[in-house]
Amino acid sequence: MSRLYDAVRKSQDEKYQPHQQQGAQTAKPGSAEAPVVRTTKALKIDPAALKRNRILAFDKNEPEAESFAILRTKVLHKLKVNNWNTLGITAPHEGAGKSLVAVNLAYSLVLEGNQNILLVDLDLRRPTLHKYFDFTPEFGLVDYVRNGTPLSEILVSPEDTRLTILPSRGRTLHSSETLTLPKMVELMTEMKSRYKDRIIIFDMPPCLITDDVMVSLPHTDCTLLVVEDGKTKEDELRAAHDMLEDTGFLGVVLNKVQETRKVYVY
């Protein structure tokens, strides 16, 4: 039996109900009424810290939460219609906010109530997912691939959620070569095929900067492209679209819009 399967299944006996809080407080990010499963290391989350990091999808009172709910609905529809379970999120260039969109979408999907989400940091040169959750991973994805670190020492799960994070850490040189290593390919294949009831979101690097995205695309069912209002150039958008259009391309997310609502979905 595979190591990823063992790492996640090992803790499925540790079911627990969300903690009850006294007084009127904001619901815990990603909480749901149904019992959730703690997968490997539990991670305590401070809602205020998430908001400081611009993770807002968990709070339905935030205007941005509605934008991500719309995006969630569109993504879920495409996944269900096509029997897909893996989604890659990228951008033409750095700074467009692809990781921010990936985390907010993951939380919005968790809030849908019936979704188990695995969020994977595939931006091996500049991994940032862990920063949005205010933690520093001791080990990361490359440690598993190159050093054999058990996945149970890498996977983390924010408490009281159906979200699991597979982080990366540091800067990985020769990242595209790492992504083609047999152990990485085996893991990517397993993530896609082993858990049909789990949605996997890959936070990918910018697609016009390295060839990492092209290497990873065979393992993704569909893609979203995040562009930055006022910065992404037309030729960059066209080049990125040409790269992704044959990979289940779902569309474009316009980020950092200079109006009240910061995310628009097309």
pLDDT digits (tens, 9 = 90+) for 117-133: 999 999 999 999 999 99
Mean pLDDT score, 68-88: 95
Residue whose pair of structure tokens reads 């609502």 in the numeric block:
261
Domain membership of residue 98 (yes or no) is yes
Mean pLDDT score, 208-220: 94
Domain membership of residue 18 (yes or no) is no
Q: What is the pLDDT of residue 213?
A: 95
pLDDT digits (tens, 9 = 90+) for 20-36: 322 333 345 554 443 33
Mean pLDDT score, 224-239: 94
Indicate the DSSP class of residue 10.
T
Domain membership of residue 14 (yes or no) is no
Domain membership of residue 23 (yes or no) is no
Domain membership of residue 174 (yes or no) is yes
Domain membership of residue 12 (yes or no) is no
CATH of the domain at 239: 3.40.50.300
Q: Answer yes or no: is pLDDT of 39 > 70.
A: no
The domain in which residue 125 lies consists of 35-265
Rounded Cα distance between 19 and 14, Å, is 14
Indicate the DSSP class of residue 32.
-
Number of domain units in the chain: 1
Domain membership of residue 161 (yes or no) is yes
Domain membership of residue 131 (yes or no) is yes
